[in-house]
Structure 1
Amino acid sequence: MEHKGAAAKGFPNLIKDIAQRYSLSCLALFETRVSGAIADQILRKLRFFSSYVVHDEGFSGGIWLLWDPSLMHVDILKTHRQFIHTQITLIGSTSPFFATFIYASPNSSLRRMLWDELRSLTNLAPWITLGDFNVGRLASEKRGVAGPNLLSMSQFHNCLQSCNLTDMGFSGPPFTWEGRWG
């Protein structure tokens, strides 16, 4: 089976259904596998009125941030090939918060650059980071033939500590990708 990411025929309807079912006012999509004119065409089909895109590089990366401006004001403060850093204010609120949407590179050298970038943002509060960090904090967060990369895990842990970030946990299946196609 060929995987086309956001370019798959049913993708716009799937996103619209999810957004409606869960009353989403903001949505971040990672590793979209499309950019340029095709991305713009897909974004027009979605029910979000505002968006910001960090384009993919070939079949790697890509971050789409979508939001409803009638419910929130989003200022894009900084972008990088691995993140979109924002300040968000909910309509009717006077208390903004910072949100960084991350798709960390699978390449550990490039991830180290991301950790340095995140450390430069640490004076901001309240701050939430979310996305795919492509490394776990614990050995139990890794599954597969290759064991966990302890150096990468340590660098990630150190970044979280120096940024004063806390893992909020998750709900749902612990692994969302099986490492195989089809």
Structure 2
Amino acid sequence: RGALKPNFQDHIRELFHSHNPAILVVMETHISGVRAREITNRLPFENAIHTDTIGLAGGLWMLWNSERVDVTHLASTEQEIHAIIKVPNSDSNWLFFAIYASPRSAEWEILWNNLNKTADLHDMPWVIAGET
């Protein structure tokens, strides 16, 4: 049931208060669109990027607070979110890829082509977070 589980929002709040993450990626949310926005608006993060689900599967959310990091959303698909992350008051910039890869080889190949193309376009370090 993903993000529709009764304790999901409480669990995210507990993680936030215990660890104070600058960025949080949630995978297998099973929710997209307006419903995803309604849920993330109730979480302790100012900003969110949501991917579409594939039927009742998938769903990827990237959540963050602007006082901790600046996020420039580059692109997203059902499998991935690409962003540039900048730490305020520093020269630190990097590419951030949040991924939840399809088990199907054709989609997996598209994902890796997308990652390579984005990395080639931006001359900076990069981080991949997620599941392949």
Alignment of 1:91-102 (within 5 A): 91-102=88-99
The answer on 1:87 being equivalent to 2:84 is yes
Contact kept? 2:47, 2:65, Cα under 8 Å: yes
Aligned match of 1:15? 12
Aligned residue identity for 2:114 = E
What SS does the aligned partner of 1:111 have? helix
**1:126 correspondence with 2:125:** yes
Q: Are 1:65 and 2:62 counterparts?
A: yes
Distance 1:47 1:17 in 2: 10
Partner of 1:76: 73
Structure 1 Cα separation of the partners of residues 54 and 87 of structure 2: 32
Structure 1: any 5+ residue segments left out of the alignment? 134-182
Q: How big is the shift at 1:94? A: 2.1
Give identity over the alignment, percent: 30
Which residue of structure 2 aligns with residue 154 of structure 1? none
Identify unmatched segments of 5+ residues in structure 2.
Answer: none
**Higher strand fraction: Structure 1 or Structure 2?**
2
TM-score, normalised to structure 2's length? 0.92
CA RMSD, Structure 1 to Structure 2 (Å): 1.2
Moved >3 Å (runs of 4+): none
Deviations along 1:3-62, whole A, 9 cap, x unmatched?
A: x11011111110010111111111001110112232122111100011111121212221
**Aligned counterpart in structure 2 of residue 116 of structure 1, from 71, 93, 113:** 113
Q: Which has the larger radius of gyration?
A: 1
Does 31-40 or 83-92 show the bigger shift? 31-40
TM-score normalized with structure 1 length? 0.68
Q: Which of residues 46, 49, 53 is equivalent to 1:52? A: 49
Query: Quick one: distance in 2 between partners of 1:75 and 1:14?
Result: 27
- Mapped to 1, the partners of 2:129 and 2:28 lie a distance apart of 14
Higher RCO (CA < 8 A, seq sep 6+): 2
Q: What is the rounded CA distance, in whole Å, between the counterparts of 1:87 and 1:112 in structure 2?
A: 22
- For 2:108 and 2:38, the matched residues in 1 are separated by 30
- Give 3-state SS (helix, strand or coil) of 1:121's partner: helix
